[in-house]
Structure 1
Amino acid sequence: MAGHRMARMAEEIKRELARLLRDEMKDPRLGFVSITAVEVSGDGRHAKVYVSVMGDESARDNSQAALKQATGFLRTELSKSLRVRYVPELVFLSDLSIERGTRIARLLTEMENHDDAEAPR
């Protein structure tokens, strides 16, 4: 039962953080950020927020710095919308799965093109 409650809380945090990043954050360092997942600890006091940032390493670093600096603001805003006793401490982590998937797709396309070029006609 507690696991189901934490999963619901994680989804609510994900939805609300996405809204806050889209509508409330004005930091110019914040690039195109997508929240891919949120994991809430069993006691609800800690949350790992996985983010994907479009762009290069510099854009990722700048966005991470902006998110780290805005953690207090984001927790305060979450406290207004979540009905919980404790708003979890937020830790933002890079999610590189989208980039890995894109890289794999590109490599597969290159292999396919290479095979087509080598095929005898």
Structure 2
Amino acid sequence: MAKEFHRADRVADAMRRELARLIQHEVRDPRVGMVNVNDVEVSRDLATAKVFVTLVGEDDRSKIDISMAALNKAAGFLRTQLAKEIQIRTIPRLHFRYDETSVRGQHLSALIDKAVQSDQSKAGDSDPENDQDSEKDSDD
């Protein structure tokens, strides 16, 4: 069965690629910093677009807020530049959002690593007789 693609999905993909290039090469605001465009969600009527971004190497919430404000301020400029590159009748209004999924992923990864280390340390403290029994079972 063929996968269904909506026009909004195709527009979102084109916008994601072009916005990544524009932010890197055209935005001159030093408050923006190094930005990764993770995803773009365009409404079905192509009126608005949520642009999900992360800031490379930035964990300070106040600096993230400053960068997001600068990106939202540059939204009009970016929309104008998109209109030159993407051939559609109207370019959606851009709303930049900080994408916290990578932060959550790193936090979950740290929790998993901590749990694994805890299990390994408990396994190292286990009864030596049980370890010998398991060795005998593996020899059989």
The one of 86, 105, 115 equivalent to 2:109 is 105
Segment of structure 1 superposing worse, 111-120 or 74-83: 111-120
| Alpha-carbon distance between aligned partners in 2 of 1:41 and 1:67, rounded to the nearest angstrom | 20
Give the paired residue count: 120
Q: Which residue of 1 aligns with 2:46?
A: 44
- RMSD between superposed Cα atoms in Å: 1.6
- Whether 1:11 aligns to 2:22 is no
SS at match of 1:78: helix
How is 1:19-34 mapped onto 2 (pairs within 5 angstroms)? 19-34=21-36
Question: TM-score scaled to structure 2, two decimals?
Answer: 0.80
CA shift for structure 1 position 58 = 2.2
TM-score (structure 1 length as normaliser)? 0.91
Q: Which amino acid aligns with 2:31?
A: R
Q: Which structure would you say has the larger Rg?
A: 2
Residue type at the aligned position of 2:87? R
Q: For residue 96 of structure 1, what is the aligned residue in structure 2?
A: 100
The structure with higher relative contact order (CA 8 Å, sep 6+) is 1
Structure 2: stretches of 5+ with no match in the other structure: 127-140
Q: Secondary structure at the match of 1:39?
A: strand
**Per-residue CA distance 1:29-78 (angstroms, 9 max, x = gap):** 11222111111111111111111223121231121011011011101100
Give ranges in structure 1 of 5+ residues lacking alignment: none
Distance 1:3 1:40 in 2: 13
TM-aligned CA deviation for residue 107 of structure 1: 0.8
3-state SS of the aligned residue for 2:51?
strand
Within 1, Cα distance between the matches of 2:63 and 2:118?
A: 32
Q: Distance in 2 between matches of 1:43 and 1:4?
A: 11
SS at match of 2:112: helix
* Residue 86 of structure 1 pairs with residue 82 of structure 2: no
- The answer on whether the counterparts of 2:24 and 2:34 sit within 8 Å (CA) in structure 1 is no
* Aligned-residue identity in percent: 42
Deviations 1:13-35 (A, max 9, x none): 00000000111111111122211
Off by >3 Å, runs of 4+ in structure 1: none
